[in-house]
Every structure is written in C-alpha cells, then in structure tokens.
Structure 1
C-alpha cells in the first residue's frame, strides 16, 4: 500500500457514486457534464499516477492500480454517455497519462481515445467545396 491509498480510495468512491447516480441526458450532448467527468475525474486519476511516477517513485500495489483504472474507465464511459454513446472503456492509466502528457489536454486525449465526439472531417481537413 502506498501513501496515495487515501486519494485513490476517494477517487474510486467518487467514480462509483458518479456511475450510480448517472442519469442520461435527454438531449445529448451534455457537454459541461462530460467535461466535468474528464477534468475532475480522469484528470485527477492521471495526476495521481504522474505524481507516483515522478519525484520520489511511489510504487502502487495491484489493488491501487486496479482502483485507479476502474475509476478512469468509469469516467470515460460516463463522458461517452453524456454524448449519447455507450462504450466499454478498457484503457490503462499509463496509456491515458502518456496521451495527456503528449497532448497536454485531457479533453483532446479523451476524444482521441474514444472517438467521441466524432470529428467533422470537412472542418478538420478544410472544405474543398468552398
């Protein structure tokens, strides 16, 4: 057990509560709620993971990693449901953390991982019809 056990327990409990209390939006997307799951959920999981891997290395045990990954994936699934989509998220904390570090943006990372919302290719690549 690491020094991060209490923070991990709190994140896991909050993710379980968010999942239990989730009510799908009547008219997706519920963008603000989706962003809250990313910033206050996924972002916090990534922050704990990065803290354990920087400075004085704090190894996490299997239960701690499992709790972090479950919370992370719960929040990514809730993010998708806020957009009217259901996914079975099975990401590792490491792959999400690496992508967040690379993009420097938890929202963009979630979009890349889940493909939600879908990108409008005419906007992304420029419209040739104009």
Structure 2
C-alpha cells in the first residue's frame, strides 16, 4: 500500500498490508487528540517536527503497517490543516525511485480534503467486502 501526495508516493506496493489496521491508523490522525495542536500553522509547521538541534521529535508519531516502515512518520493537525513529516531512513529495505535515503518530506493537506479521502477509501472498502 502507498499514499500519494500529488506526484510523491510514500510507502511501497512490494509488501502486503493489513488494510483494516491501515484505515484505523489513518482515522486516528483525524480523531485522536494526540495529533491536535492549535498553535501549528502554515508558517511554523516545519519547526514542530524537529528539535532546535535537528533531531526528529518523539511526539506525534504514527504507524501505517509495514509497507511504510522505511519511513519515520509524524503528523500534527489543527482545525484547518493536517501536516506530515516523513523521513526516509538511512538504510531503507525497499527502493524508492523518487527518494534517496535520508530524504525529508514536509506535507500540508487541508483537513477537509484529507477527511474526504479517508471517507472515500472507507466507503470503497465497505462496498467491496
């Protein structure tokens, strides 16, 4: 399983994934207060993912099954947007055409769009049971 953000794909199709767990983890990003921060915004979101000395923070981590294990993943949301940080680990198990090891990716997605995509995925999965 992979997630696409425009032309950028995170994850791999070369490994199986347990879709109910994936969907549960994605929905937690929307509903769990752990990922909410009213102080984050378009101007400062990059600073929320790393300490002043450049280390990735321990907070706001999330999992997405083993197809995403090559990435360190963080996410924070406010009422308007959800922000992601992905770091491709130094020695990834899988190859990624568009990314080199230790790539850092910052992504901002409007919450409304993210929720719609997750709801559409859930509907699609329920239709195909």
The structure that is helix-richer by fraction is: 1
TM-score, with length taken from structure 1: 0.32
Structure number with greater CO (CA < 8 Å, separation at least 6) is 1
Larger CA Rg, structure 1 vs 2: 1
